[in-house]
Structure 1
Amino acid sequence: MTNTGDARHLGRRTLLTGVGAAALSAAAPTASAAAPRGRRYPPNWPDPRPYGLADTRTDLWPREDNSFVLPLELRPRDRQRGVVWMRDTYVNCFVVDGRPLYVATGTTRAPGLEAAAPWNDGIFVWVARSLRGPWKLADTTVTRPGAEKGKVWSPEFTDENRPGRTVVAPWQEYWYDEEFGKRGQVWAPELHRFRGRWYIVACMGDHSRKVGSFMLVSDGGVEGPYRLVVGNHEKPFGDPFIGGPAFIEPGAYHHIDGSLYSEGDAAWLVLHNNLYARFRDDMEDIVTTTGLPAFRQTPYSPEPYLEGAYVFKHLGRYFLVHAAWDRTSAGSDGTVRHAYDPGGAGRTQYQYDAVVAVSDHFEGPYSERWTAGVGAGHNNVFADAGGDLWATFFRNPNFGYWADPSRVGQAAVPGVVRMEWTGPEGGRLYVRRRSHRT
């Protein structure tokens, strides 16, 4: 998670380190205490009413003037397309040995497949010293000389398991059935640096033996080698429940899209779409309780299915991000209605948006959500080496606007878009708007 308000400094502005200055048990400082004095901030926009309507204004889209696609080093599979195929793009910037290090990862597909299903071949990591690049695949040739460069973990790495060191658990391995053939994939990885160690939080996807979130820890640098934490040797984090597509076996579905938030000397697991749990001090498992606690939110009515829960802290306030589908339907006046509605008859998926709420406390209560980025769902927010805020996006290729045959070739990309903060009074983050540049 991003914790921009409490990061260390390098040069003139704030840098992201991923660790903060105070534990969550301490009172959160107010945003105004850390905000520059006398600065003019862009205003908040009035929200569409009633609560739950989507804001579709083009100023909230990633555009050529506020965003770009990262020039990640191409693997052989990427060369024909000319850009890495990626969903759930994740980018962050850490200070390592006094220098900024950018990292990028996401959900990728195996050669010959059109999507990251029914299997994919693992987690790839790219690194750079500048957001603009050059971006290089992490050098895994020393730790794993026989594997494709940049691949830091995969369900295929079962031969690396040793007594006392599990890399791939049995529930994460590839498997086969008559309906899909080869099955098993890893989704939505995130890279975090906490107490000087590298962690990856990711999710085994719908075609896996067990579906849900897990964590890896590196025994070396960002390139690994990584192993599975003890708490995931038998299953994903949390308890199973009914969910996902009909082909998922009963009891296999757990909470997906796991993420990590760290502050001070403590860290928390964030699970979709509203749960969290504190990690044990040794970071090998979460602190188990009877039912995981839930964030106190201001839900829509009715509440739709949300994905990609993510928390970050900026200048003393906590921002809770979700991915929500803007679905179109016929309004009562005959016009097109855009809203974060549950799926149903007469409702068509349009854009996979980033919706955000803010709180003075990690656990909430969180404000009403607002549309922070159109088509920018399932993202993360980070500070670059100059302290400016960015978010990731990927343009969902499965449904909606970017699935149209005329656009799908531009979907599933590792994109980043500038963000703007509306100051201590407004307290919001938006995609940088044309009409309200800071």
Structure 2
Amino acid sequence: MASSEHGLHLDRRFLLTGVAGSLGAAALPGAAAAQAAPPQRGRYPSNWPAPEPYGLADTRLDLWPREDNSFVLPLELRPRDKEQGRVWMRDTYVNCFTVGGRPLYVATGTTRAPGLTAAGPWNDGIFVWVSRSLRGPWRLVDTTGVRPGAERGKVWSPEFAGENRPGRTVVAPWQEYWHDDRFGKRGQAWAPEVHYFRGRWYIVACMGDHSRKVGSFLLVSEGGVEGPYRLVEGNRDKPFGDLAPGGPDFIEPGAYHHIDGSLYTEGDDAWLVLHNNLYAKFRDDMEDIVPTTNLPTFQQTPYSPEPYLEGAYVFQHGGKYYLLHAAWNRTSVNADGTTRHAYDPPGTGRVQYQYDAIVAVSDRFEGPYSPRWTAGVGAGHNNFFADHHGDLWATFFRNPAFGYWSAPSRVADAAVPGVVRLEWTGPAGNRLYVQRRNRVIR
């Protein structure tokens, strides 16, 4: 596979920097252990032995997005992006759909408003990019026919509340901007995903911690991928699901619902996936989830103790279901003075290091799911997808808030729309990893 689509001939303008290149392999944890190629079995690479005891994090260089297995998407820049020269993005989402007999790639994520250093206490909504190839060119979706005077590519925003009409809600009251003395302007959309299901476009997203109500919602397009989008009936008064425990102290009492909503579809059925352990079936008309006293839970193999997990996402491949989470790999010191890397809850002496992608596999959507493994170092809050050739990829963004990518020497390379190749260990191993080095040719 020598075409640029398959990634062996890479455009170095878009190659990742800082991991294997400028830092050097010796500067990375686990670099020495990673020098040996993973064992291989027949046509497929073997499962990597997981660190013991259960809950330790795997930091081997092979599991990092590197120059040889990943790149940053060359998304079309908005005026706000020109100074930095790229799009600032968290929670990167990319997928490929067949529309009209041709592949159409979509990209979106959490972005920030001009003049802000983060996506809070407010941002200005959801932007979408499209391409016919994973390599691009990536263009902002053409929204000029929907809103001629608005910023191109912006498909939904709290500022569109003026478009509400009787029987058609674009922005619910709980999603609108609001103000307080502590933060000023508040309200933001987080972690959007774009889906093409039964011939219609949907966006599932979350109103973030600074919003009047915090939680997940669904938009449906009345046209193409560019919209116009409206809110489904079930979200006119509140996010999906009931109130949830947790959240920062600045969230108003009674406002916090389950966040990071994701959409999983199979055939003509669709499910809402909520962090970090809940799911719900959508009604046939997709206007709300099926009512139930308590949302069902995935049957997982938790860590002990179980840390806070984010970004739940379900992906099907090879007849199996893969449940993704984002988990902080925290460092601490073992009794013998060595460094411990583990998916521990916060605690004294524990330092956030990398925001990892952890994965488990099951024969059924609801589980039971296997013990989790580290699928990608620093690749947390992502999604898996197949390109139009059937090759597998994951997204990543390099968390700029804490840990490795927040260091002053690296933060300029954080918050990116990145994609990294995946490898499958076959029908016997049934694991997905960031593509390791020296992999066997399929």
TM-score with structure 1 length normalisation?
0.91
**Residue of structure 1 in register with 2:366 after alignment:** 363
Indicate the SS of the match to 1:435.
coil
Question: Aligned equivalents of 2:257 and 2:42: distance in 1?
Answer: 46
CA RMSD of aligned residues (A): 0.8
**Residue of structure 1 in register with 2:423 after alignment:** 420
Are residues 437 and 351 of structure 1, via their aligned partners in 2, closer, same or farther at CA, if it must alter by over 3 Å?
A: farther
Structure 1 residue 39 displacement after superposition: 6.3
Indicate the SS of the match to 1:182.
strand
| Corresponding residue to 2:65 among 62, 65, 69 | 62
Q: Which moved more, 1:358-367 or 1:427-436?
A: 427-436
Kindly indicate whether the alpha-carbon contact (under 8 Å) linking 2:43 and 2:440 is maintained by their aligned counterparts in 1: no
1:436 equivalent to 2:439? Answer: yes
**Residue of structure 1 in register with 2:229 after alignment:** 226
Structure 2: unaligned runs, 5 residues or longer: 1-40
Give 4+ residue runs of structure 1 displaced > 2 Å after superposition: 435-438
Letter in 2 for 1:63: R
Indicate the SS of the match to 1:44.
coil
**Residue of structure 1 in register with 2:380 after alignment:** 377
Alignment deviations for residues 295-346 of structure 1 (CA, whole Å, 9 cap, x no partner)? 0000000000000000010010000000000000011221010000001111
Question: Aligned equivalents of 1:436 and 1:42: distance in 2?
Answer: 7
**Residue of structure 1 in register with 2:208 after alignment:** 205
**Residue of structure 2 in register with 1:76 after alignment:** 79
Alignment deviations for residues 217-241 of structure 1 (CA, whole Å, 9 cap, x no partner)? 0000000000000000000000012
Alignment deviations for residues 49-79 of structure 1 (CA, whole Å, 9 cap, x no partner)? 0000000001000001000000000000001
| Corresponding residue to 1:183 among 186, 191, 206 | 186
Indicate the SS of the match to 1:157.
helix
**Residue of structure 2 in register with 1:282 after alignment:** 285
1:257 equivalent to 2:260? Answer: yes
1:128 equivalent to 2:136? Answer: no
Taking every aligned residue pair, what percent have the same amino acid on both sides? 81
Letter in 2 for 1:313: Q
Residues 135-214 of structure 1: pairs in structure 2 closer than 5 A: 135-214=138-217
**Residue of structure 2 in register with 1:27 after alignment:** none
1:397 equivalent to 2:400? Answer: yes
Indicate the SS of the match to 1:51.
coil
Letter in 2 for 1:193: Y
Letter in 1 for 2:247: G
Letter in 1 for 2:375: A
Indicate the SS of the match to 1:409.
helix
| Corresponding residue to 1:243 among 243, 246, 268 | 246
**Residue of structure 2 in register with 1:28 after alignment:** none
Question: Aligned equivalents of 1:110 and 1:331: distance in 2?
Answer: 42
Question: Aligned equivalents of 1:39 and 1:132: distance in 2?
Answer: 31
Question: Aligned equivalents of 2:319 and 2:47: distance in 1?
Answer: 19
Structure 1 residue 385 displacement after superposition: 1.2
1:336 equivalent to 2:339? Answer: yes
Question: Aligned equivalents of 1:369 and 1:263: distance in 2?
Answer: 23
Structure 1 residue 437 displacement after superposition: 4.3
Letter in 2 for 1:268: W
Kindly indicate whether the alpha-carbon contact (under 8 Å) linking 2:400 and 2:406 is maintained by their aligned counterparts in 1: yes
Question: Aligned equivalents of 1:120 and 1:241: distance in 2?
Answer: 23
Question: Aligned equivalents of 1:437 and 1:319: distance in 2?
Answer: 22
**Residue of structure 1 in register with 2:329 after alignment:** 326
Indicate the SS of the match to 2:438.
helix
Larger RCO: Structure 1 or Structure 2 (Cα < 8 Å, ≥ 6 residues apart)? 1
Structure 1 residue 436 displacement after superposition: 2.7
Kindly indicate whether the alpha-carbon contact (under 8 Å) linking 2:109 and 2:126 is maintained by their aligned counterparts in 1: yes
Indicate the SS of the match to 2:239.
coil
**Residue of structure 2 in register with 1:307 after alignment:** 310
Question: Aligned equivalents of 2:347 and 2:439: distance in 1?
Answer: 36
**Residue of structure 2 in register with 1:25 after alignment:** none
Question: Aligned equivalents of 1:241 and 1:191: distance in 2?
Answer: 25
**Residue of structure 1 in register with 2:18 after alignment:** none
Letter in 2 for 1:372: A
Kindly indicate whether the alpha-carbon contact (under 8 Å) linking 1:90 and 1:190 is maintained by their aligned counterparts in 2: yes
Kindly indicate whether the alpha-carbon contact (under 8 Å) linking 1:242 and 1:250 is maintained by their aligned counterparts in 2: no
Question: Aligned equivalents of 2:353 and 2:407: distance in 1?
Answer: 10
Question: Aligned equivalents of 2:156 and 2:178: distance in 1?
Answer: 17
Kindly indicate whether the alpha-carbon contact (under 8 Å) linking 1:43 and 1:436 is maintained by their aligned counterparts in 2: no
Number of aligned residues = 401
Alignment deviations for residues 151-187 of structure 1 (CA, whole Å, 9 cap, x no partner)? 0000000111000000000000000000000000000
1:118 equivalent to 2:121? Answer: yes
Indicate the SS of the match to 1:100.
strand
